[in-house]
Structure 1
């Protein structure tokens, strides 16, 4: 991360902040260890290291999370879900903090120093707003007053340097979406059926939804530019179950996790089933320091 950090307000709906039972989604809980999805919609000027507060629309109507961009903004309009919703840019992200006592709309409107903030004047009707420095400082102080432990989290996030990866998950996804032949050597003859397929009611997105022409079954590909973990196994298992239930699959779908290695917990979980397969990025031809898979 270099240069000045910008601050944003990202706006989200219950579909993305609440679970099926209406409680807070585990996908947004930094303590859960759940891997984030590939991207979050953002402003085109977002840079790696920028910080964002997350506004939850009705019924919550509050600021409950601190997030940080792990990449610069990149175009996502070609992806079906983004196109349907009118989203143009996204970025990789990480949840830095969840505030146990969120900042409510009533509190925001009662703060005279925020009267001229465009987000409030516009009734928070867009998906993203810039937060000017003076307003950011005021918002941080308000959050810290309600959540004494938040001060350290803001300080840590402001100073945290995000290591830039040569290969982003989005770049890997683009490459494989154009050419699935590297999977043949691993026994899969795949054709692409969808990218970033939303698992309605599940809360996740399938990176690559494929169909194996030989085995005649759906194949779910989950991409990670980090080590696969126990949470990754839970994620891919959930997606396999969702496809089996919602795609009317005749045969049980299988899941493939593509990542830079796997931790012992993932390996132990994988050993219990034949329905989940791990493939290292390097075994598909990807190398750190290179954009190309030969």
Structure 2
């Protein structure tokens, strides 16, 4: 059985993510009580399905004990992957205000912001267990695409045997838009030469040849890339020993268009030789690709 668990804060996009799995042929269960998770294999056997995705949220009975329940799954030999969706409080308040929906933990005496903080505390033990995604700056379509990419990645993991069952995720971002909540490591590359100040290069992004050629000719950029590679290689074994399944590395420049994008592409290409690697460019999700002349 291929089991995927989707959880996280209300308003962060769990329904969108679950629908991606449903559209891909997974047997999906929404809002499953956490206490029923150890019995999921027996139920799924009756459905004749080998690919299962379940959504568990803060309304679930005994949600605080979910980390222990997941450990029980491991002792039963049930392999699973967990997708944890997150967003900053400001974004969540805005989403609930726009949809005019009631927060599941709201009470007459508790404001929306307080309900969000309460829910974050309830789920605090889960954010480091699985693949943590900050959806604060993701459109619905970008979240669908990222979930689909992650789904394909874990399906390869179910089928392949690797020295370490760990997914290394790289995300580029712009500091002016905030630091991603899902990053385990954050590297600041704003000190590197900035193509933004060249009017000819400015329209391009770090995935395209003009920016790549510019940055590859800068010794500081190559030195920074080497130092980040060395740091990750040195400390990644500690995550293996801690039985972590996912590590997210954030690379940030000012706007998230050029330097951080370039370095994420380079680092991803380097580390994919030994690891399962995912790449995400947060600020490029709505940027049109510039066609080179």
Determine which structure has greater relative contact order: mean sequence separation of CA pairs < 8 Å that are 6+ residues apart, divided by chain length: 2
Relative to the length of structure 2, the TM-score reads 0.27
Structure with a larger share of its residues in helix:
2
Relative to the length of structure 1, the TM-score reads 0.27
